[in-house]
């Protein structure tokens, strides 16, 4: 169980020596309970108290990572059920699955575009996280281990991203031999029948291990056995595949881990939307898995049209709702502007900035873009909050030396804050203040007809 601030205080020296930079031991205890400081910040905790506090301060969902060649997919460390309580921590990895029944050429043709896929979303690079290789036949079929190893090799010939190996112990053993030293793959899945062999493989390869079972009780039994066998990085794989079944299983497991601090379920979750077969159902299941509460998501189809909305959804859910994504205030050049080009004003909320910049850039128009410091809020929100007014804009015009860059002093306000034009004229008497359109999409037309 997580300890309260008072319980932690009872385990501290209670001398109020202030070396932890807090005025009292109680203040430090409260911060420790909120996981905002490290226990190591107090140098005087006894060994006995330290052991008790360390156990209690372990995150309820064990942090772990699947790694390869400079890439890493982290999972775990989550402390809340809902992102409005506190930020979700580790974005789930999206993995594209290939099968060992496919030819090496077919595997490469499937992996390569997904590996190369990279998209810039409001200044954040998005892409697929890695690949999963699944054995199509059983471990016992002739040549199964070699076939699986060949599939892993084919993936590795075109991608170095993290990998999930889905097979029985013999095939996984052969697949592991194709991986570079130092890689940390995820092995999938230990079951009631094969857990000893799978745990031995995971331990030997220092790999993470997913355990699979139909009921939560069976999963608890498996995680306990696998942990006792020396595997620390465990992933939960409930077999439910329906939307309702997987939502129920994931929610129950995560609730027990977070609310009851139930350690046997305090691990990341893997889900398999790819098992739906149908692309549209797969995307819906993946969207659900992003929201509730998967750390690893295995899909069978990749296309930019399906990957992009899932990756953006993931960003929206895993971005701290209390900290808007911001760009640095300043003057940005769009299409190499000259001294006769206009100055467009906007705020430093990332989505606002990129909407405006993309429209102007795509249209070929040249402009200076003054990104005012509006504490990361969008135009209307910042205006309503008093963070984006004529005074703020005029201050940033001076702070960033905008007048030195242009001869024609034309400044364009976003249409939503047309009301500021009079005040801005007073603040910037040398400037011609214009009111632009309300929506970024209308900027190219406006620039062509009004500014040229």
Task: Give me the residues that bind ligand SF4 (CB under 6 A), please.
Answer: 12-13, 15-20, 22, 25, 28, 42, 44
Pairing of the two strands 296-299 and 343-347: unpaired
DSSP 194: T
Of 20 and 307, CB closest to ligand SF4: 20
Tokens of 391: 């005074």
Of 51 and 385, CB closest to ligand SF4: 51
Nearest approach, Cβ of residue 56 and ligand SF4 (Å) = 16
Of 15 and 215, CB closest to ligand SF4: 15
Tokens of 403: 């007048």
Q: Where are the beta strands (DSSP E) in 44-155?
A: 64-68, 71-75, 93-99, 119-121, 124-126, 130-134
Nearest approach, Cβ of residue 32 and ligand SF4 (Å) = 8
Nearest approach, Cβ of residue 20 and ligand SF4 (Å) = 3
Of 44 and 445, CB closest to ligand SF4: 44
Q: How many CA atoms, within 13 angstroms, populate the side-chain half-sphere of residue 89?
A: 17
Q: How many helices, marked H, and strands, marked E, lie in the chain?
A: 16, 17
Of 44 and 321, CB closest to ligand SF4: 44
Nearest approach, Cβ of residue 34 and ligand SF4 (Å) = 15
Strand order through the sheet with 93-99: 234-238, 208-213, 186-190, 163-166, 130-134, 93-99, 296-299, 270-271
Nearest approach, Cβ of residue 28 and ligand SF4 (Å) = 4
Residues facing residue 238 across a β-bridge: 213
Tokens of 418: 């047309």
Contact status, residue 100 vs residue 175, Cβ threshold 8 Å: no
Of 6 and 385, CB closest to ligand SF4: 6
Nearest approach, Cβ of residue 77 and ligand SF4 (Å) = 24
Of 41 and 139, CB closest to ligand SF4: 41
Whole-number Å distance between alpha carbons of 117 and 17: 54
Nearest approach, Cβ of residue 31 and ligand SF4 (Å) = 10
């Amino acid at each position: 169980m997580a300890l309260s601030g008072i319980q932690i205080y009872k385990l501290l020296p209670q001398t109020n020596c202030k070396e932890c930079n807090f005025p009292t031991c109680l203040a430090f205890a409260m911060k420790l309970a909120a996981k905002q400081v490290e226990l190591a910040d107090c140098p005087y905790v006894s060994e006995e108290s330290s052991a008790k506090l360390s156990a209690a301060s372990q995150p309820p969902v064990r942090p772990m990572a699947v790694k390869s060649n400079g890439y890493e997919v982290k999972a775990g460390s989550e402390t809340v059920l809902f992102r409005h309580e506190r930020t979700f921590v580790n974005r789930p990895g999206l993995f594209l699955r290939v099968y060992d029944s496919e030819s090496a050429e077919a595997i490469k043709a499937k992996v390569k575009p997904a590996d190369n896929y990279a998209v810039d979303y409001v200044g954040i690079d998005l892409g697929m996280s890695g690949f999963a290789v699944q054995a199509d036949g059983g471990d016992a079929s002739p040549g199964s281990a070699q076939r699986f190893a060949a599939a892993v090799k084919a993936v590795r010939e075109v991608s170095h991203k993290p990998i999930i190996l889905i097979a029985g112990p013999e095939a996984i053993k052969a697949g592991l031999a194709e991986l570079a030293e130092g890689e940390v793959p995820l092995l999938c899945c230990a079951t009631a029948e094969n857990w000893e062999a799978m745990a031995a493989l995971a331990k030997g390869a220092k790999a993470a291990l997913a355990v699979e079972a139909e009921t939560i009780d069976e999963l608890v039994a498996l995680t306990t056995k696998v942990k006792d066998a020396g595997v620390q990085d465990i992933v939960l794989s409930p077999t439910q595949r329906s939307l309702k079944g997987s939502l129920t299983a994931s929610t129950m497991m995560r609730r027990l881990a977070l609310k009851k601090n139930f350690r046997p379920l305090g691990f990341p979750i893997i889900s398999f939307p790819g098992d739906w077969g149908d692309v549209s159902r797969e995307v819906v299941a993946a969207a659900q898995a992003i929201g509730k509460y998967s750390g690893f998501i295995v899909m069978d189809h990749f296309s930019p049209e399906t990957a992009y909305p899932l990756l953006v959804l993931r960003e929206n859910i895993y971005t701290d709702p209390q900290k808007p994504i911001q760009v640095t205030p300043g003057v940005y050049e769009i299409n190499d502007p000259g001294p006769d080009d206009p100055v467009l004003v906007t705020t430093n909320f990332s989505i606002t900035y990129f909407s405006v910049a993309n429209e102007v850039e795509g249209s070929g128009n040249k402009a200076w873009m003054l990104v005012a410091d509006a504490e990361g809020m969008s135009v209307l929100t910042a205006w309503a909050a008093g963070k984006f007014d004529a005074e703020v804009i005029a201050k940033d015009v001076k702070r960033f030396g905008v007048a030195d860059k242009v001869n024609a002093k034309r400044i364009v306000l976003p249409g939503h804050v047309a009301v500021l034009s009079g005040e801005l004229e007073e603040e910037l008497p040398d400037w011609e203040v214009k009111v632009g359109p309300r929506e970024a999409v209308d900027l190219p037309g406006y620039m062509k007809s009004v500014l040229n």
